A = this chain, B = another copy of it.
Amino acid sequence: MLQAPPAVPGMSESEIDTPALLIDLDALEANLDTMAAILAPTGVRLRAHAKTHKSPVIAHLQAARGAIGQCVQKVAEAEVLAWGGVRDILVSNEVVGASKLARLAALARIATISVCVDADEQVAALEAAAAGARVTLTVLVEIDAGGARCGVAPGTAAVALARRVVASPHLRFGGIQAYHGSAQHLRTVAERRAAIAHASASAEQTVALLREAGIACPVVAGGGTGTFACEMASGIYNEIQAGSYIFMDADYGRNLDESGAPVSMFRQSLFVLATVMSAARPGVAVLDAGHKALAVDSGLPLVWQHPEWQYIDASDEHGKLAFDPNTQGPALGSKLRLVPGHCDPTVDRYDWYVGVRSGRVECLWPVAARGALT
């Protein structure tokens, strides 16, 4: 069952039912503008990652500022975007299984669809699916850019896979996917630069070998919110796949800039609004937002603008705030903004975004690809 929206436009923020997923629209728009301004003079394209927002509405806001398309991780996410009018979608991930591939190929009738591979069998399965649907799919060969998760080894293994793609009549070789996920969360600029220097060298070597093999490589794709400046400066990457920059989260807020201060290029625009539902003991307030309302895999949430109130423990439906019992804590019934530890899976807990500006609800947007797991 779809959940009822927790607000209606025009309400004040304090009237929103909780837990609710809030977007500060001014901050969101500032982030969209900042990324567009950074990329515009470079010629590097933005293919924004929809695994963060799961929303055709936000995809169109990104397109209006120059994004050339969207990335997703799942076929079900690609479906929601394509059905919502997004015309160029890369599944920046491997897709395995005949039923998923048939769904992906079917989408190529209404959008330009690209997908990644890291195995021979997958090229054959994609060719069969595309032939069956009488469409052409664009295929990127994923190389392991240092994350040691998916992707073939850079260099000759990638070239061999690209040859198979080129030899497949219903597939078009689109380039290489060289995303380094774990590098996004390295804390210092030096660490992130070193990781992406390795990724760039891997990509460069692969592109050179492809050229020797007579295979053009139109796209070298990768880069997230933590490292995109490194990929952008590499001279190798030409598509950036940042997603979280639109919202930010407590974990990205722990990344440091050149000066050793927390990065401040993007503003926090995503919040979970929670209510104090119990205040029965001194120094403790219990919120109505726990594991089911917030992803804690990258750390507990922070209380926005109240560093003196610490979210110390989550259970399924409760969050425990601790504060100095000699001070005034948040009152029973009061509502607080929390900064999620990790934006993407937190968004996945909700059916609705509540867009707020100047203390008022301005809009409701569905989290259209919530739970799009397949």
Contact = CB atoms under 8 A, between A and B. Distances in A.
Given A148-B284, A297-B291, A371-B3, A333 B19 contact: no
B316 A73 contact: yes
A3 B374 contact: yes
A291 B295 contact: yes
A101 to B, nearest CB: 11
A277 B317 contact: no
A369 B1 contact: yes
Contacts of A316: 51, 73, 344-345
Contact of A99 (B17, B76, B314, B373): B17
Contact of A280 (B99, B118, B280, B366): B118
Find the residue from A51, A122, A345, A349 having the highest chain B CB count within 10 A.
Answer: A345
Given A51-B317, A149-B318, A292-B348, A277 B95 contact: yes
A90 interface: no
**Copies of this chain, count:** 2
A251 interface: no
Given A3-B371, A144-B281, A291-B297, A17 B51 contact: no
Contacts of A119: 278-280, 332
Contact of A97 (B1, B152, B275, B320): B275
A327 to B, nearest CB: 19
A150 interface: yes
A329 interface: no
A192 interface: no
Interface residues of A, number: 73
A316 B345 CA distance: 7
Interface in A120-162: 121-122, 144, 148-153
Nearest to A344: B316
Nearest to A318: B149
A333 B96 contact: yes
Nearest to A119: B332
Contact of A297 (B100, B151, B314, B349): B314
A53 interface: no
B317 A74 contact: yes
Contacts of A275: 96-97
A181 B73 contact: no
A93 interface: yes
B73 A281 contact: no
A372 interface: yes
Contact of A94 (B18, B73, B278, B293): B278
Interface in A223-280: 275-280
Contacts of A151: 278, 280
A2 B76 CA distance: 11
Given A1-B80, A150-B286, A280-B152, A292 B94 contact: no
Given A94-B277, A349-B373, 11 more contacts: A4-B374, A20-B374, A51-B316, A119-B278, A121-B333, A122-B332, A153-B281, A181-B315, A291-B342, A292-B345, A370-B371
25 contacts: A1-B369, A2-B2, A17-B97, A17-B99, A17-B374, A19-B373, A94-B277, A94-B286, A96-B332, A148-B284, A149-B315, A149-B318, A150-B286, A152-B280, A153-B280, A181-B315, A289-B373, A292-B345, A292-B371, A296-B297, A297-B297, A316-B345, A349-B373, A350-B373, A351-B371
